[in-house]
């Protein structure tokens, strides 16, 4: 596995690698939003139309019975905060809360409205501890929902990385030497910062260990001298 970036830092080598087995953020963590979709070939969310999400007591209606506008009218009556989701399938699967038309090749044929990501106001109150959900807070929730879609998009496209730290001799250090699961373009920055912080911790720990050895030796020397002149 070849790194896509290598950084030398305080005598150590940090290698940034693509995460070849990233965890699925829709399956392996709790999410505020629920993504509903229709596809016989791809997993484009959490549940398909007509299914009952685990967080809610009702099935989610789909295009067989509701147009997009009718679905959003239904969502308003349910007290949901939502965003539309769009999918682009052209060699890779990409997801967004914005249409791909005008910003992706052949998007007029290879992309479209896939479904929605939504959350009830009751669930928001439970998660955030809010009593009132103002318009400003609703926008904050929509930003959180959009971030969940972006995270899943990064997962679908393999835009996930991790780091490996190698010691001064080029071999893996005896201590914790790797970490994975950094999502998105910002993930590369965070992975490098985490690796550097790990090395800084190792260096401080080693300095304290050596200082402890010298302090212990000095204390022992003083005891020997005091006993000799007692």
Give the chain's length: 230
Q: Which residues of 161-197 are buried (b: 16+ CB within 10 A; e: fewer)?
A: bbbbbbbeeeeebeeebeebebbbeebbeebbeebbe
Tens digits of residue pLDDT in 55-104: 999 999 988 889 999 999 999 999 999 999 999 998 888 999 999 998 88
Q: Where are the domains of the chain?
A: 5-19+162-228, 34-157
pLDDT of residue 225: 52
Question: Average model confidence (pLDDT) for the chain?
Answer: 88
The confidence score (pLDDT) of residue 49 equals 93
pLDDT of residue 168: 74
CA nearest 163: which of 173, 150, 148, 153?
Answer: 173
User: What does the pLDDT read at residue 117?
Assistant: 97
Q: What is the pTM of this model?
A: 0.83
Residue ranges of the chain whose pLDDT lies below 50: 217-218
**Cα 13 from Cα 199, distance rounded (Å):** 10
């Amino acid at each position: 596995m070849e790194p896509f970036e290598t950084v030398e830092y305080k005598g150590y080598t940090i290698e940034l690698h693509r995460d070849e087995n990233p965890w699925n953020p829709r399956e392996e963590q709790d999410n505020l939003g629920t993504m509903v979709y229709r596809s016989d070939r791809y997993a484009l969310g959490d549940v398909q139309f007509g299914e009952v999400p685990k967080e809610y007591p009702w099935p989610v209606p789909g295009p067989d019975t509701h147009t997009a506008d009718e679905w959003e009218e239904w969502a308003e009556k349910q007290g949901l905060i939502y965003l539309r989701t769009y999918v682009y399938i052209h060699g890779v699967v990409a997801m967004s809360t914005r249409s791909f038309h005008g910003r992706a090749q052949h998007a007029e044929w290879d992309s479209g409205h896939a479904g929605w990501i939504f959350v009830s106001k009751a669930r928001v109150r439970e998660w955030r501890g809010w009593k009132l959900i103002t318009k400003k807070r609703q926008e904050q929730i929509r930003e959180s929902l959009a971030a969940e879609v972006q995270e899943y998009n990064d997962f679908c496209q393999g835009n996930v990385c991790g780091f490996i730290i190698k010691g001064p001799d080029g071999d893996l250090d005896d201590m914790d030497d790797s970490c994975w699961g950094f999502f998105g373009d910002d993930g590369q920055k965070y992975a490098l910062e985490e690796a550097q912080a790990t090395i800084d911790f190792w260096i401080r720990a080693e300095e304290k260990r050596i200082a402890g050895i010298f302090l212990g030796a000095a204390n022992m020397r003083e005891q020997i001298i005091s006993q000799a002149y007692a």
